[in-house]
Every structure is written in C-alpha cells, then in structure tokens.
A and B are shown apart, each in its own frame.
Chain A
Amino acid sequence: MTPQRADAEVAVELRGITKRFPGTLANDAVDLTVRRGEIHALMGENGAGKSTLMSVLYGMERPDAGEIRIDGRTVTFADPGAAMAAGLGMVHQSFKLFDSLTVAENVVFAAEPRRFGLVDRAAARRRVRELAAEHGLAVDPDARVGDLPVGLRQRVEILKLLHRGARTLILDEPTAVLTPAEADALFTVLKSLTAQGRTVILVTHKLREVLEGSDNVTVLRDGRVVARLRTAETTADEIAAAMTGRAVELDRVHAPGTPGDVVLDVEDLTTDAVREVGLTVRAGEIVGIAGVAGNGQSELIEALAGLRRVTAGRVTLRGRDITHASATERRARGLAYVPEDRHAVGTAPAASVADNLAMGHHRRSLSSHGLLPPAAVRAHARRLVERFGVKAATPEVPASALSGGNLQKLLIGRELAHEAPLLLVEQPTRGVDIGAIQNIHDELIAYRDAGHAVLLVSAELSEIRGLADRVLVMYEGRVTATYPKDGADERTLGLAMAGGAAPVEVGD
C-alpha cells in the first residue's frame, strides 16, 4: 500500500467552511485537510455537500464562513481563475473540451505558447508530448478530441491541468464513464502524479476504487464531516455506514430466478448503432446487459421501447411481432420502461409528483370515457408514494423538488405498477444513494419473482452480477459475450466490455 504521510506538509486545508443555500445548510463547519502527495477521497451520498465544498474550494461559490489555506497561506478565490493561479485544477464530471479541436489545441487553450504573438503550434505539440511522456498519459497530440474515447478525453483534461501547472488536482466522479480497465489506468496515472509530489482530491461514491486507490477518506453526511478514515485501516462497510448513517449490505448477489416462457424474443436486431443483436428474455428472469456507455445498449433499449427506428431484424413480445409497432402499441402489449435519463425522458420535472406518477396509467386504470378525475390521480399518487417510499412533501410538489434517488423511486414505482410482463430498465441506480440502491434492487428482484421478464442495462458490474440471471456484454453495437449467473467474475466482464472477449456461448 501507499505509505501514510501523516507527517507530510498540508497542501489544502479547509477550516470551518459553512455554506447556506435557501432552505438548506449545504456545508456546516466542514474541516478538510489534504496532505501533499496523497490521494484523498471525499465521499458522501447525493446532497451530502461534496460538490458544494469543492465549488467553494475552486472559487465557484463564496463560503458564508470559514477559511481556505493553500500551502499554509490563507486565500480567498474570487473565481476559478484565481484558484487555478494558486495551483488548483479541477476535472469536472462532464468534460469541458472542444470536440472539433486537436488534443494539443485543447491542452494549451487559454495558456498557449506564443511566438511573434501567434500560437506556436509546434511548441504546443512538443509540450503535450513532454507532459504525456513524463506522466504516462499517452495520447496523440494531433488527434481530434471528438474522435477519442472517453478515457482518453479524461487524459486530455488532466494534461490541461498539468500544462497550467496545477499542483492539486480535483477529480469529480472520474470513473463514472470509464471501463474497469480505464479506471485502473487512471489510478496508475494518479499514483504516479502523487509520487511526484502532486496532490489529488477524488470526489466519488464508488467504494471499491476508494479502497484501492486512496490514502485517506473524508466522509460527509448532511453537510457535516462524519468520518475521517485512513484507507488502509478501514473497510467498505465502515465507509458505507458512515455515508448512510446505518449498516448497509453491499454488493449482495441475489438468488437466481426460475425462468418460464419466452416473453421477449429479439432476432438480428439492427438500428443505426446496434448490429444484429439476438437475445431472449423469459418470464421470471433478469437478463443483464453490461457494457461501457456508448456501445449500443441505449439504442437497443430505445428500439425495443419503440422510440428508435429498426432497420432490420425482428422483435417478438409475447408471441406478437412488434418490430414496427408504436410505443403505445408496445405498452398495450405489455411493456414498461425505466429509461436512463430520468430528467429528460422519464419524467416531466416541472409537473407535480402526482402527474408524473399518472403517466401511462392515465388511459387505463385512472380514466373512464376519456375523463381523468383529479381525485383518482391524487389517490393513485398517494398509493405509489407510500408503496415505494418516495419522499415527497405532498403529491402536488413538482418532481424537480425530489432528490435523485427519490425521483428514481417514483419512476421505477410508476413503471412497476403497470405489472407489464416485460420491464426494460436502464441504469436503475445511477446517481442513487447507497441506501436507496438496496431498496431498488429488492423491488426488481420481487418483480422478477412475481413472474415478469426484466431486461436490465447497467454500467455497474456489481449490479449486473447481483441481479442478472444471465449476462450479455455489448461492445460496438454487438452482443460479444454471454455468461450464466456467476459465470464471469468482474475481471472477465471488464475485459469483455473493453472488447477483449472470446465469445462464450451458453445455453439458456
């Protein structure tokens, strides 16, 4: 393990940071000490105050109280530019790069090497090569950023910070979009950076990588620091308990289901991003699709839900050909769908919780002769809110007032309530708190055990392994591997997701 550097000098120190937003206390007298040369993980559930704290540190928010010390000197940052000048650098969750420019142009942007007042492109390329070689961040300086995979774009972001001389790097959920192999590569890079005396603050909710990659952990809950732990001396359970305030059972692998008749049969399905995919899902079975984002999983699900045109192939739902059926017809035939994007697709954030819960039910159980009595909508909402434990002040508050986890409970509750023979569900627990994840997993398993078919897409391997009775791996639009439950460990799956699978066929 990395040696403890308790004696090392302090690179970043936050003392008594308090930040209030209307109605919430986002940070309540938070102290954070990050020593030079360490990887310090900042953990907490959604709304715990991690992002606010980092915004304060990076000059994007002014704290109401408290002070920031960089290398022992007290500073105040008026804006992120001032923070950068003091040696801080941040990689945001959504990258801030120009897709149409080259790697070198992106890296030197706003701090270009100049020659006779013009940008010195040769020097820029040289600089990128030097930085890349020095830190093991191999990337072609002339490649267009838009053509690069996500893992390499992240390297460009890191190079950008190094070019500007950042001594402390803040990374916000850096592995959310990476394959396991890419994540491992990232941690190798981060460790070499800290070995050179740079400091890394890692904002994340992934326990595994914190345990493997960090030196110290600070856990926030409800805006307060609830734990300061040395990684070498802690466990995943201890961190999870600190984050949630109670004991949580992590990475449970659920017992397999008892598959019945085929509900969904897909043959050679092809769309713009899906290539000849074949799969079946049976009643009482969860089929999991693993894959790195952007390998056709979303498009496959959209095509199955009737929201994307199918160019070839055949889709059969409970014996009826629905290849070219509309979304409405599919739902009537017995399909429910929890989409990946909760805000843009799965809900209308400005509409009330009750209205959001009525969608899809409004033409069936809730209405008669085209009338939709408001009392029926409200009663339906109260039923689902109670059954699925959605925390909403009243059914009349807008859905946008709900936390990510609660919004997801609303969405899953609404779709499960259809009791449709087939449920399509994408990223059911992305951005959802640990406490709520367990709850959602239990609901999905109960739904399966009630004899429904579930097709699950997830980027979380532990989720796929915990829930799925069979696992399919998608890579570049194709199903490249199929495994039975427990047929593949995380390493094998990770390799398959990166395109390195020897296709394994299993009977089902």
Chain B
Amino acid sequence: MNRIAGALRSPVTFSVLAGVLIGALFLVGTGADPFTAYGAVLSGSLGADGIGSTLTTVTSVLGLALALAIPLRAGLINLGGDGQLVLGGMAAAVTGLYTPLPAPLTVLLALLAGMAAGAGYAALAALCENHFGVPLLVSSLLLSYPASSLASYLARYPLKEPGSSLPQTRQLPDGVALPAFGSSTVTVGLLLVALAAATYWFTDRRTAIGYEIRMTGLNSRFAAYAGVERGGLTLRLMATSGALAGLVGAIGVLSFPYRFLDGALTAPGYTWTGLTAALLAGAAPLGTVLASFFFAVLQVGGLSMERTTEVPRELTQVLQAIVIVFLAARLRFPRGRLRKKAAV
C-alpha cells in the first residue's frame, strides 16, 4: 500500500504526467485534438499493426538501456554505446559472412563475436580511466568515433557488396539469422535482451557484486573505504555494458536486412533513447524495462500519429524532452495527505 502511494508520488510519475499534459497543450495549440493524437500513439504502437514494430524497437532500446544502466548503477556513465553497438554489429557481420560452420552455430558465434567486440572496446575506455586518468565519460565518448569510422570504412571499402550502390556488406548466407516469431520482425533477440534484464534484476537485488555496485553508485568513497576495488569494478561493468551494446548490434545484423548497413544501427538513436530510459529509471532494473517500453511506444506510436492525424512525430520527442527536464528538476507531487510518518 505504502509502496503504491510512493510510486504514485514519485518524480517519475509526475514527470510523465506533466509531459503528457504539456504535450496536450501543444496539440491544442496546433489545432489538433489531444485525445485523437494520443489515441493514435497508443493504437499505432500497441494495436495489432504496431505491436510487432514496438517489440522490435524494445529489443534495441531495452538492450542499450541495460547497457547504460549497468554502469550507471555504480555512478559510471558509458557514452560510447554507439561505437560498441557498431563494432558488435560489424563483428557479427564478419563472423556471419566468413565462418564455415553450420548456420545455427554461426549465429551463435556471431552473437558471441558481437558481444566480445563491444566488451573489449568498452573495456578499453575503462582502462583509459584506470591507468591514464582519462575520465570515463570522455574516454568512452571519444573512443566511440573511431569505432564508427572503422565500421563505416569496412562497409564502404573492403567488405562492400560488389555492385551495390549502398555502403553495406553482402547479405549473410541463408539461415544465418535469428529465428523470428511467425511472420513478424520480432526475433529471439527480444528474448535474449529480456534474459539480460532478468539477470540484471537478479544481480542487483540478490548478489554481493550487485550490492557493491549499488553502494558504489550511492557513495563511491564509502565503497572504497570498505574495500570495493574501484578500478576492477569499472572494468567489469564497462565490459558488461559493452557486451550488451555489442549484442544489440549483433541482433540488428542477424535480423532483417541480414547485413551490416552503414549508419543503420545508429540512425534511430537507440543509444540516446536507451541512456534516457536508464536515467529516467535511475538505473533500477524494473524501471529501466518500463522506461524502455514507454519510449519504444512513443517512438513507434509517434510515426503512426503522424500518418493518421498530421501531427508531426517530433511531438513525441518534445514529450520525451519534457519528461526528462521535469525529472532532472526532481519535482514530485506535494505530500499532502499522503504524508508518511517522519522517520526517527
């Protein structure tokens, strides 16, 4: 009961509702009917036609949100999601194209290669902080650019599909693809990401390392005082984070269009949506899942709203931005009658 009251009063609820309300004012201002527009967002993303698209988006957004939430839980920010994502995708594409093994094994190998590439590259950023004192924020962000450029170069020159006008690799051999559900675009990638979320939840709540991560995030000097070794923790968290980003890249390549297309992984901005979701949830496992789903709904539903109501889909980005601004201001509903007894 108390928990429900707490959740209702939390800044997250307040921010989301405030975002929706202010968005409604925008809609009224442009002459649109807010109910129709929001209805279009919901039916477009959760209706029979949209749910597949939403779940595909959730796969990427949640994967990257987890990738960013895990180090964020310890107060570390990995800004290199794009680079790790792209390297993971490229590693998966190369593995998929050149492994002379049966298709199922190749798929497995490609997933692992993607994770390894992302993990290794993210670990590099951690090493830069641990050994050269480059702040992680800076090292992870700056390392991201050469990674994107390298993948771009590979897709445009050595690995380019002969005869194609697009900067893309050849299509993966037949069968080298993640199994999809029915005729949808939703693949077992969604299950992998869901598994990662469950693992994260379990680790966070019920393991000693999860406890150390949380305490480091709440007060890193406290953790260090008690003997939590920061450098090692940073390295492990970044490797895990990069592995997840790489996994999302690999899933992207092992799904339609079954190849590495330069820019295709990063263009939708999943890294930033994921970061937003992780921040919105304060990196808490369940919250990260909910926030990812919320943003996927906005992203997919916004497109459908644009089609059916002529309200530009940018409105959903305005909505996202308002939610974040309110959240950053840590506003919450006044205590009023919900006031709890003050702790001793």
Which residues of A pack against B, CB within 8 Å? 22-24, 305-307, 326-328, 330-331, 337, 339, 344-351, 355, 358-360, 362-363, 366-367, 370-374, 377, 391-393, 397-398, 401-403, 406
B131 interface residue, CB < 8 Å from A? no
Cα distance, A402 to B212, chains bound together (Å): 22
- Chain B residues contacting A370 (CB-CB under 8 Å) are 207-209
B181 contacts chain A at the CB level, 8 A cutoff: no
A-B contact list, 6 entries, CB within 8 Å: A328-B229, A355-B211, A370-B209, A372-B211, A374-B205, A403-B344
Given A328-B229, A370-B209; A359-B221 close (CB under 8 Å):
no
Are A359 and B226 in touch, CB under 8 angstroms?
Answer: yes
Q: Is the CB of B224 within 8 A of A327?
A: yes
| Least Cβ–Cβ distance between B284 and chain A, in angstroms | 13
How far, in Å, is A368 (CB) from chain B's closest CB? 9
**Which residues does chain B contribute within 8 Å of A327, judged by CB atoms?**
224-227
Q: How far is the CA of A355 from the CA of B216 in the complex (A)?
A: 12
Q: With a CB–CB cut-off of 8 A, which chain A residues contact B145?
A: none
Residues of A within 8 A of B229 (CB): 326, 328
Is there contact, CB below 8 Å, between A363 and B206?
Answer: no
Binary per-residue interface labels of chain B (306-344) against chain A in the complex, 1 for a CB within 8 Å, 0 otherwise? 000000000000000000000000000001000101111
A367 to chain B, nearest CB (A): 5
B215 touches A328 (CB 8 A): no
Whether, in the assembled complex, B210 has its beta carbon less than 8 Å from a beta carbon of chain A, the answer is yes
Residue of A nearest to B228 (CB): A328
The smallest C-beta distance from A303 to any residue of chain B, in angstroms, reads 13
A205 shortest CB reach to chain B, Å: 21
Q: How distant is the Cα of A158 from the Cα of B218 in the complex, in angstroms?
A: 39
B211 contacts A358, C-beta separation under 8 Å: yes
Cβ of A337: which chain B residues have Cβ within 8 Å of it? 225
B222 at the interface (CB under 8 A from A): yes
Asked whether A326 lies within 8 Å of B227 as measured between CB atoms, the reply is: yes
Which listed residue (B209, B212, B224) contacts A307, Cβ 8 A?
Answer: B224
- Residue pair A349, B219 in contact (C-beta under 8 Å): yes
Pick the most buried of A339, A359, A370, A392: most chain B CB atoms within 10 A of its CB: A359
B73 in contact (CB, < 8 A): no
Which single member of B207, B219, B223, B343 contacts A392 (CB below 8 Å)? B343
Name the B residues within 8 Å of A346 (CB-CB).
Answer: 222, 225
Contacts A328-B229, A331-B227 hold; do A374 and B206 have CB atoms under 8 A apart?
yes
How many residues belonging to B are interface residues under a CB distance threshold of 8 Å? 27
A362 touches B212 (CB 8 A): yes
A401 touches B343 (CB 8 A): yes
The answer on a CB contact under 8 Å between B225 and A305 is yes
Closest to A403 in B: B344
Contact A347 B222 (CB under 8 A): yes
Do A362 and B221 touch across chains, with their CB atoms under 8 A apart?
no
User: In whole Å, how far is A423's beta carbon from the nearest beta carbon of chain B?
Assistant: 14
Cβ contact within 8 Å between A372 and B225: no
B219 touches A372 (CB 8 A): no
In the complex, the chain A residue whose C-beta lies closest to that of B225 is: A345
Contact between A371 and B211 (Cβ–Cβ < 8 Å)? no
State the Cβ distance, A64 to closest chain B Cβ, in Å: 17
* Chain B residue contacts of A393, Cβ below 8 A: 341, 343-344
Residue B259 CB within 8 A of the other chain:
no
Given A374-B206, A392-B344, A355 and B226 touching (CB < 8 A)? no
Chain B residues within 8 Å of A398, by CB: 343
A348/B208 in contact, CB under 8 A: no
**Chain A: minimal CB distance from B129 (Å):** 18
- B209 CB, min distance to chain A CBs, angstroms: 7
Inter-chain contact A344/B221, CB cutoff 8 Å: yes
Q: Which residues from A are CB-within-8-Å of B209?
A: 370
Min C-beta distance of B211 to chain A, whole Å: 5
Closest beta carbon of chain A to B220's beta carbon, Å: 9
4 pairs of A and B residues whose beta carbons are closest in the complex: A23-B342, A328-B227, A401-B343, A348-B219
Query: From residue A420, how far is it (CB to closest CB) to chain B in Å?
Result: 12
Question: Which residue of A has the minimal Cβ distance to B340?
Answer: A23
From known contacts A355-B211, A355-B214, A362-B212, infer whether A372 and B206 are also in contact, taking CB-CB under 8 Å. yes
Contacts of B341 in A (CB 8 A): 23, 393
Residues of chain B within 8 A (CB-CB) of A326 are 227, 229
Q: Contact between B214 and A344 (Cβ–Cβ < 8 Å)?
A: no
Q: Across the interface, which residues of B come within 8 angstroms of A401, CB to CB?
A: 342-344
Chain A hits for B339, CB < 8 A: 22-23
How close is A350's CB to chain B, nearest CB, in angstroms?
5
Q: Is the CB of A347 within 8 A of B219?
A: yes
Shortest Cβ distance from A361 into B: residue: B226
| Minimum CB–CB distance for A402 against chain B, Å | 8
With a cutoff of 8 Å between Cβ atoms, the chain A residues found around residue B222 in the complex are 344-348, 359
Task: Report the nearest A residue to B219, measured CB to CB.
Answer: A348
Residue numbers in B under 8 Å from A305 (CB-CB): 225
Complexed CA–CA distance, A142 and B221 (Å): 38
The residue from A349, A367, A374 contacting B208, defined by CB atoms under 8 A apart: A367
| A330 and B219 alpha carbons, distance in the complex (Å) | 21
Known: A327-B227, A344-B219. A372 touches B344 (CB 8 A): no
Separation of A366 and B215 alpha carbons in the complex (Å)? 16
B208 and A371 within 8 A (CB): yes
The 8 A CB mask of B50-80 against A (1 = contact, 0 = none) is 0000000000000000000000000000000
B205 to chain A, nearest CB (A): 7
- Would you call B227 and A360 a contact (CB within 8 A)? yes
With a cutoff of 8 Å between Cβ atoms, the chain B residues found around residue A372 in the complex are 206-208, 210-211
Chain B residues lying within 8 Å of A397, measured Cβ to Cβ, are 343-344
Give Cα A326–Cα B208 distance, bound, in whole angstroms.
Answer: 19
